[in-house]
């Protein structure tokens, strides 16, 4: 069983096999050669893993994000942030961080943020003196904030597998997301001053007023969606549906930047991305079920208990482990497989599961732009055309900044629980 559940998947991942195939093949081989159970159980477990109402939020928010990008609503947010930060030293870099956070409020897709910001801001960053490597590294790393800022698909999946409140996870992610953004922006200001990069421009009040008015409908979307969730007017799943309707209404009626054909194309793109996420959910559910039935979580708990760790030591070990995992697995796959194993262990140390969910999410967000296989690196490379080694050099300073933010978020639970509340 060890070979089927651990050695074979590791080998397949090293060979570059799709993640869902890694999980699914291991499960099929376990049923074929190890477990005395009929193969019919595979279908029941796989499709049972998708039979959750909360999972409907995933395609809804993905579709809402596509609509925001295609309609130009996301671009209006970028212009608005640029107007607000025009007087700050290194304002263009600060605006890149702020724009990513703003896009996270409406889509929660890190890769989409990197693609959009890369097309819009990369040429301007290089012209403003940031250099190609630093510009690409900033864009790739800033996109990771979208996974932490609600609404977050990673948090939806964590809430599902860890049986935690998704609205509370959303609330808990607000302050940590702000902490990461502020530390990133502060670092950009420091390096801009050292490199002699000036503010991008002197923006007056009238420019800010025009940008705010132009982006007002886009800015109201997260207010309506997140406010409705927190006030209990609708569930996260229903909020995702509302976000889609809101984005379509604004794009068709207010801004008039989309046609029905554009909406159909955005829906098709969202369907493809949602299918990629949900097939991983289904296959990971099989792997998790196998590990649970074989008593692996209990064995890990006993093993860690024998090490006589403190809660501080456990969190340190988890951070190191998840940072390494994030270099190879996307957040969706890692959360689905590891959360059922790690959450009970964290609970045995008295660690709040909401706080632990934020710690997991931040770790895996950093993995999105950590060499060698961070997804944001591949997206940034496709947009900028830089070779991999240049991108690696560009992101490393920002990896250090976000790890520093991770330490604060890990060991100051109040950052997550002041708004999210203890369980």
Distances (CA, A) of 88 to 76, 121, 159, 227, 290: 20, 17, 38, 30, 53
Place of tokens 């999105």: 368
Percent of the chain with pLDDT strictly greater than 90: 18
Round to whole Å and give the CA distance between 366 and 322.
10
- Peptide linkage before 151 cis (omega within 30 of 0): yes
Query: What token pair was written down for 47?
Result: 């499709």
Concatenating the DSSP letter of every residue in 319-334 gives: HHHHHHHHTTS-HHHH
- Residue pLDDT, tens place only, 163-200: 898 889 988 999 999 999 999 999 998 888 887 776 65
Q: Residues 243-302: pLDDT tens digits?
A: 889 889 998 998 888 899 999 998 998 888 788 878 877 877 777 777 777 776 667 667
- What is the C-alpha to C-alpha distance for residues 96 and 112, in angstroms, rounded to an integer? 14
Task: Look at residue 297 in the predicted model and tell me its pLDDT.
Answer: 63
Domain residue ranges in the chain? 1-48, 53-420
C-beta atoms surrounding 17 within 10 Å: 13
Candidates 170, 285, 283; CA nearest to 237 is: 170
* DSSP per residue, 162-184: HT--HHHHHHHTHHHHHHHHHHH
CA dist., res. 105 & res. 119, Å (int): 20
The answer to whether 114 and 380 are in contact (CB under 8 A) is: yes
Contact 361, 152 (CB under 8 A): yes
Give the global pTM. 0.80
Cis peptide bond upstream of 419, omega within 30? no
């Amino acid at each position: 069983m060890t070979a089927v559940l651990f050695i074979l998947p590791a080998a397949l991942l090293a060979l570059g096999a799709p993640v869902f195939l890694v999980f699914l093949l291991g499960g099929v081989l376990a049923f074929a050669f190890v477990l005395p159970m009929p193969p019919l159980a595979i279908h029941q477990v796989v499709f049972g893993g998708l039979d959750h109402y909360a999972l409907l939020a995933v395609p809804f928010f993905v579709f809402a994000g596509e609509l925001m990008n295609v309609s130009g609503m996301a671009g209006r947010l970028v212009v608005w942030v640029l107007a607000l930060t025009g007087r700050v030293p290194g304002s263009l870099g600060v605006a890149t961080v702020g724009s990513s956070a703003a896009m996270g409020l409406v889509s929660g897709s890190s890769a989409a943020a990197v693609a959009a910001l890369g097309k819009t801001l990369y040429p301007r960053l290089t012209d403003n003196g940031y250099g190609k490597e630093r510009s690409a590294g900033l864009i790739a790393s800033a996109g990771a904030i979208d996974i932490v800022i609600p609404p977050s698909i990673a948090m939806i999946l964590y809430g599902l597998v860890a049986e935690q409140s998704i609205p509370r996870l959303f609330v808990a992610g607000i302050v940590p997301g702000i902490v990461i953004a502020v530390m990133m922006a502060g670092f950009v200001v420091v390096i801009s001053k050292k490199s002699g990069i000036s503010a991008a421009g002197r923006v007056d009040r009238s420019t800010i007023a025009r940008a705010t008015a132009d982006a007002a409908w886009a800015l109201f979307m997260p207010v309506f969606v997140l406010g409705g969730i927190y006030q209990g007017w609708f569930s996260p799943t229903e909020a995702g549906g509302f976000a889609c309707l809101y984005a379509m209404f604004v794009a068709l009626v207010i801004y008039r930047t989309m046609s029905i054909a554009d909406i159909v194309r955005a829906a098709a793109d969202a369907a493809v991305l949602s299918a990629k996420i949900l097939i991983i959910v289904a296959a990971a559910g099989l792997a998790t079920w196998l590990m649970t039935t074989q008593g692996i979580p209990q064995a890990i708990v006993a093993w860690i208990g024998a090490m006589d760790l403190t809660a501080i030591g456990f969190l340190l070990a988890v951070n190191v482990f998840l940072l390494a995992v994030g270099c190879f697995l996307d957040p969706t796959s890692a959360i689905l497989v590891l959360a059922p194993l790690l959450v009970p262990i964290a609970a045995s140390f008295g660690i709040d599961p909401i706080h632990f969910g934020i710690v997991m999410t931040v770790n895996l967000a950093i993995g999105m732009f950590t060499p060698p296989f961070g997804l944001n690196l591949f997206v940034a490379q496709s947009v900028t055309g830089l070779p991999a080694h240049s991108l690696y050099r560009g992101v490393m300073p920002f990896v250090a900044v976000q790890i520093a933010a991770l330490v604060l978020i890990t060991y100051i639970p109040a950052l997550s629980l002041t708004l999210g509340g203890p369980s």
